Amino acid sequence: MKNLLACALTLAISIPIFAQKTKKKDTLTKKTIQVVDSIPVTPIASELPQTVVATQLKDTTIFSLEDMAHARAIDSLWLSQLYASGRFEEMYGMVQSQSFEDVEYDELSTEVLKQRLQALNARTPFNVEYNPSLESVIKGYLKNRRETMARLMALSDYYFPMFEEQLDKHGLPLEMKYLAVVESALDPRAVSRVGATGLWQFMFSTGKIFGLDVNSYVDERTDPIMATEAASKYLKSLYSSLGDWDLALAAYNSGPGNVSKAIRRSGGKKNYWNIRKFLPRETAGYVPAFLATMYIFEYAEEHGFKSHGPKYPFIATDTIHVKEMITFDQISKVTNLDKAELEYLNPSYRLGIIPKIEDEEYVLRLPIDAVGVFVSHEEAIYEYAKNELAEREKPLPELFEHPDRIRYRVRSGDYLGKIAEKYGVTVSQIKRWNGLRSNNLRIGQRLTIHPRKPIARNNSQAKTEKVSDDVRLYTVKQGDSLWSISQKFPGVTVSNLKKWNGISGTSLKPGMKLKIQKG
């Protein structure tokens, strides 16, 4: 508890210091905040039902404080950079396209690298031995991916403590935390092209096996703590079967069957580097990416990296059991937290809504000081949320519908597992509904689906615009990703492509036209 209070005090002190660095004077405003038990509270009295406020806000003193809008604007910019999507696509592309060619990087000599890898090998159960391929990956990351690695280090300040707690609980090497960097680039909502989701990239079926539920409101694969515990159990089972942590890593990526097959094809060899050429291409670059990431994080200071991590370290947050349905918009109003921060701290809620479902317990993670705000006015907050939700058009949420049955047309690249994941059903259900005896599908085939997930309804008309001299169109090809396309055009980033084309996710379809701006 002392540590938690110290963190809370540190956070409270750090805010005015951060504002001071802006070199602009904050201006006084007429806005007031209410202070209850020395905890700042947003001006919710006018928003909450008055009959409840009278009983909830007792002995409240009203103060006028300086408006820190400028500091909050900078904070918002920082948040958008740190939490922005796109890093998953970049990391995935780095692993997929690893060439293992020699990289010139004078700041790190081969001899120094050998010494550091030997020291690292002595303190970890992974086989961190020098070879030219690993040297190529390490130097490539240091030379070409410094900005990405720095951002990942900042995010690790929040995620690594919770990873280490779960890994230690299950008796796994603490260095296994670097696996989440390679798997998802520490993006809890990362979704791969085949549907693997979350920090630890669980497929729908594998997640179910290890206790991760998925429904219309909640995807537990994106819950950092639950997914880390599931990943720990899965990795532990893989190690029990294979007896080697490097092979367990390879099996986590490509499946134990592919690793067993590679061992047989190699003549029974069990060192990862000896069977690597018999593994799928992605897995061949996977373990080197893990080891390179481990090296850079462990020797970050020697390479000039300084973390500027999230405002709220994991230890400075706590959870509240939610008793009634409530939205992130409502929580944002009553706690004065940016909605992006709520989404960052609570990534498993798919629609920005924490539901109330019988026999299910859902929690809200908040910074410690905001927990005090919420608990102090819990009854009033639920009453406010209930009244506001009652006034909205039904059903919730407004932009989604959930039909009893749809007709789905099979597209190129579809398979039963992918379709089942999309609609929250099982492969066996799709086969039963459509009288299928095998898993084979053909393009254009129509399938009857009884979806369990809500289906997005697009209410806006597609807009077209004339392509000017400054804009060119790129036609998406089979196998393209936002990251691979960005690499074709100098200076273009994944974020650019999303902004120019109004893309919110990462999925692309062959034939799609993407606008690329010149200059």
The set of catalytic residues is: 183
Element at 503 (helix H, strand E): none
3-state secondary structure of 66: strand
Amino acid identity for residue 364 in this structure: L
* Distance linking the first and last C-alpha atoms of the chain: 54
User: What is the DSSP code string of 138-187?
Assistant: HHHHHHH-HHHHHHHHHHHHHHHHHHHHHHHHTT--GGGGHHHHHHHTT-
Strands 406-409 and 446-449 turn out to be antiparallel
At position 286, the amino acid (one-letter code) is Y
Neighbours of 327 (CB within 10 A): 21
Helix (H) or strand (E) holding 420, with range, is helix 416-423
Structure letter (DSSP) for residue 218:
B
Neighbours of 237 (CB within 10 A): 15
On whether the CB atoms of residues 73 and 18 are closer than 8 A, the answer is no
Strand partners, 401: 455
Q: H or E stretch including 209?
A: helix 204-209
C-alpha atoms less than 13 angstroms from C-alpha of 117 in its C-beta half-sphere: 21
Instruction: Identify the DSSP state of 462.
Output: P
**Are 382 and 389 spatial neighbours (Cβ–Cβ below 8 Å)?**
no
Residue 397 preceded by cis peptide, ω within 30: yes
Structure-block tokens of residue 79: 């948040």
Per the CB < 8 A criterion, the answer to whether 365 and 317 are in contact is: yes
Q: How far is CA 327 from CA 333, 338, 347, 452, in A?
A: 10, 13, 13, 21
Angstrom distance (rounded) from CA 450 to CA 424: 9
What's the residue count for the chain?
519
Residue 157 in tokens: 């300040």
**Is the CB of residue 173 less than 8 Å from the CB of residue 328?**
no
Q: How many CA atoms lie within 13 A of 7 on its CB side?
A: 16
